[in-house]
A and B are shown apart, each in its own frame.
Chain A
Amino acid sequence: MKLAILSDVHGNLHALDAVLDDIAGQGVDATLALGDFLSGPFDPVGVADRMIELDLPSVRGNHDRYIVDGREDDWHVDAYVRSLLAPRHFDWLRSLPLTAVHDDTVLLAHGTPRDDNTGWLDGLADGNAVLLSPEHIEREAAGFPYEILLCGHTHVPRTVKLADGRMVVNPGSVGLPFDSGSPDAHYAIIEKRRAGWTVSLNSVPYDFQAAANLAIASGSPKWAEVVTTGWPKPREL
């Protein structure tokens, strides 16, 4: 079994299409998507239409939920995206579950299986992404007996193996590569072989300037800096 995993597109259609092109050449059995599809000042409507058309096995992210439900300290970007969407886009967002299981083998989650706003593998220390403790990672995996546990949310590509051999994989972010040192779009390929699962954390160059121009046009220069350099940290947004 060979699967492509993508997460945290954040409205960046240029990055998403580059990743979908790359996946098309990989010969995968399925592509799975882990949420935070739209929250970004790029082309959220284009991303929503693309995802509705592709109809991939998908879960919702915390920002997908905020766009639908709103929240007290609403992000200006979530409000901006909400103002652009049509009813069909809201229907699609509402249809996304917190978790899903693919082929009885792979669990899809955005943050952790219980909370779309909690990092599973990485936390922040002094503003830097750091690997969380094995105790935290194991605790969040308890009760989910699947060989592969997928998560996104932190934008940090990472693979961790649990004591019983299950694997937690975060593919990084397709559209918003903060704190990564690279503007390239990130996704993952996982493949089951005789000796176990092989993970490939991929990065795909694309026309990030086109995405940055959209961010600048909608009045979000910091987002343009994230997609052109990969260096700003999440708190700077």
Chain B
Amino acid sequence: MRIAVISDIHGNRQAFEAVEADIARLGVDATINLGDLVSGPVDPVGTIEMLMERAFPTIIGNHDRYLMERPADKLDRVDSFVAKKLNKTHFAYLRSLPKTTEIEGEVYMCHGSPASDVEPWLDNWWTGRTTTMPDEASVLKKAEGVEFPVLLCGHTHIARIVRLRDGRLIVNPGSVGIQFFHGAPDARYALLERHAGKWSASLRAVAYDWDAAANLALKHGFPEWTDALTTGWVGAEGLF
């Protein structure tokens, strides 16, 4: 059993296509998606149309929720740009997606933590412009009562693998579409594999045409995204 886990595409179709090509080359039984599908200035419409066609098991992230819940004047600049581009079919697709789900009793999917789509799980999330591993107690607390062999989360854009003392694996695949403060612009995703009943994971970094993505962000009026897209050194502050 081999599953590709993607998350936080943030409307970056170029990055998504490169990840999809890498997944196709490896061969998987399924691809699953942890949300924040479209909130970015590269190509949100192209991205959501690809996602609707693929129909992967998918959950929504906090930005997908904002697009559905918030009135136009309460959206941040990026989500406002995206909301104007999406049509009714796109919104109907977003509304059809759950906040959490599971695959065959084996794999649990959430965007932030099981309790919240904005709560970071496997990273202290660029406090003071650093990202660090949280302590064991805080990681474990958020996993309480979620009894699946594999627990998946996204949201922080920091790829990490934790294995709890009880054997449960927690994986954040990182972000396909926008890299925050870890020093590489490559698109990130994860591969889950089950051998002899035991799950393991690997974190993949894939080169793609980030200059093309940055040019689209610039063309759409978001010059602050170009450094973030082409270097991976920029934090999330000021992008949304």
Chain A interface (Cβ within 8 Å of chain B)? 121, 125, 128-131, 134, 137, 157-161, 163, 167, 179-184, 193, 195-205, 228-231
Contacts and interface: CB of A to CB of B under 8 A. Distances in A.
Given A181-B160, A184-B200, A200-B203, A159 B208 contact: no
B231 to A, nearest CB: 8
Contact of B204 (A125, A184, A199): A199
Contact of B202 (A159, A193, A200): A200
A181 B131 CA distance: 15
B32 interface: no
B132 A134 contact: no
A136 to B, nearest CB: 11
Given A125-B130, A131-B183, A184-B163, A198 B22 contact: yes
- By Cβ-Cβ distance, the 8 closest A-B pairs, closest first, are A196-B207, A160-B183, A181-B162, A182-B163, A128-B132, A161-B184, A202-B202, A130-B130
Given A121-B183, A198-B205, A200-B191, 20 more contacts: A129-B132, A130-B130, A131-B181, A134-B183, A158-B183, A159-B205, A160-B183, A160-B184, A180-B133, A180-B162, A181-B122, A181-B163, A182-B162, A195-B18, A195-B207, A199-B186, A201-B203, A203-B161, A203-B163, A231-B136
Nearest to A121: B183
Contact of B163 (A129, A183, A196, A201): A183
Given A181-B133, A181-B160, A203-B161, A131 B182 contact: yes
A46 B11 CA distance: 50
B162 A199 contact: no
Nearest to A187: B202
B61 interface: no
B121 to A, nearest CB: 11
Interface residues of B, number: 37
Contacts of B163: 181-184, 203, 205, 230
Interface string B202-222: 111111110000000000000
Contact of B139 (A128, A181, A193, A205): A181
26 contacts: A130-B131, A130-B132, A131-B130, A131-B131, A131-B183, A134-B183, A137-B183, A157-B203, A159-B184, A159-B186, A161-B184, A161-B185, A161-B231, A163-B231, A181-B122, A181-B136, A181-B139, A184-B200, A195-B18, A195-B209, A198-B207, A199-B204, A201-B159, A202-B202, A228-B165, A229-B136
B42 interface: no
A203 B132 contact: no
Contacts of A180: 133, 162
Contacts of B59: none
Given A129-B133, A134-B233, A200 B204 contact: yes
B74 interface: no
B57 interface: no
Interface in B98-139: 122, 130-133, 135-136, 139
